[in-house]
Structure 1
């Protein structure tokens, strides 16, 4: 199943010692890059999350706008995408077709408070440089346009206090489902989005192995065939969340789903495949302690013998709070104490004890809920409260409960 991959520059070998922890596009050969680009183009998607359809990332939104630019903005001429000047980079530098008036467009896939200051910085940098002056008439005011699914009230406050108030436009877009693909709505106009929506409850995920990028093919090829289908289901679920990227280690023995692999990057899941076995790790809420900025940490799962490590129905024996590998030699014996983490969690706890541990033993888990939903202004809506009450009543002994919690945690954390 593994796809042969060669590396440009000789920085890494397929099984050799890696110079970086995760593979990057630069490690692919020219052929591999072409393969990945074909896969990416053929498998672009929208995601359904929280009752809304959105682009999977801001880059996907930019790609769509770039491809459909002439259709969406018939009165504008696109000069350059991702134009950088004086350390400032605007998404789209344009001008009007009628008067060559300069236009800066900033695209956001979610609400952002700092749009006015961001666009003002772009304006200053572009006016000081006056690039493409053969196409743009810099004697005219610079029109600054922000396009987003919604605008924070601070944007309007900043706009009102700006001396360039008349030069700002806030355009709100929406993405709607139409026959399981998308429709992009902007300025009362509708534009088709040809790729499918992931995450719709009534739609089965695409588990076609030919849609996998090169590095993921190699990781999958090292898994037992009995696990392939459930791995692909879990992978589809994880990649259906906003901002999630997939990263494969240089040994093809670890795959990470996160915004990046750095310490400060947000992570949702990791899978390791070593001589000690296949282990799924998830980032879940942890005990609420005042000096813990973000009460989320990494947990691994010890499943009952013979269980599929990717199946939602698999039964769990232990939930292990760890930053490192999961060492079965550390499994506590009956009536022994496994030790505590700095979060106040037992290092090894039985699955039906996880929630009370994470809530520091409180009968209700309200304070854990508040920290999980950090950034959401109380009072909490009834739907969220009812969801949490259902979690508090359940006895989480199967893997699917924890996967669902990790997904919900991810989506609340990225707000």
Structure 2
């Protein structure tokens, strides 16, 4: 796992949700318990088991996790045991001739838990866990209450102490971020921190494919920013900025390109959705650029008759981009790269252009600052 949701409660730390605890234990079953992951949130005969795992000898182990005190965990594990023994699922992987081992994992155990276990005939182990802070590192410590053995593993954690009022990223956002690069993850979390820290009225509104930031989700709500994830799971940033390349007082939802290293461009305005026209146009220009570089890098250096249609198209595209720049209109990243293509020397009689090494990007933080200021004025 790249990072885990932790929250501070008093002087101690805990997993933000039970799902976060389960995610981390599932990802580290081998290191913590020497177990092989089998199934999680497994439905059997009306019961849903948190985690099913195996020992090397194919013995089944059932783990039930609680992020807080629970007086009835023994009864819950008993129901899982009964359902598994009755149905005997996954028989190709599990040896049901061996006893099923039941494990309860909690931050602390109630007195009733020990009484229930004392008079129970099933094999049930109690493991108590704690999140420990050592200097700047966080660890999950798990202690077997039967034999007092302790294991500890480092927890990758995103530092959110700057503003403890900010809620941790939801599980939905964390799942989306898991498919992103480390630069994208860091960039998105920094913007999220900045936006949610800006004003107490700022809220995070999540849906299946996007995470919006504004003062609620009603018809009169004003939005500031949005992370939208496309069909491949890649993030696109939208900010509510001024029309006419952010020069107008009228606000609209702007699609932002970024290299996730601080550089950005306002590529166009999209009232809703992802902006399929912009996406298609970006792909079209990218393909044209690739063809131009094929011509440039060809050995031996020569032009074929079929090349001239790409060169003519290049001239049209370049002139269109230059008109946009002169009129202070938004241009996409691929149009910037088009201006850097030097192909004229291969075309006899073709108009000579100055190769444009485009470096006039805007700082991403600057766009976010403007979006926040404009949002505040609109409230």
What's the TM-score once normalised by structure 2's chain length? 0.44
What's the TM-score once normalised by structure 1's chain length? 0.40
Greater relative contact order (Cα < 8 A, sep 6+): 1
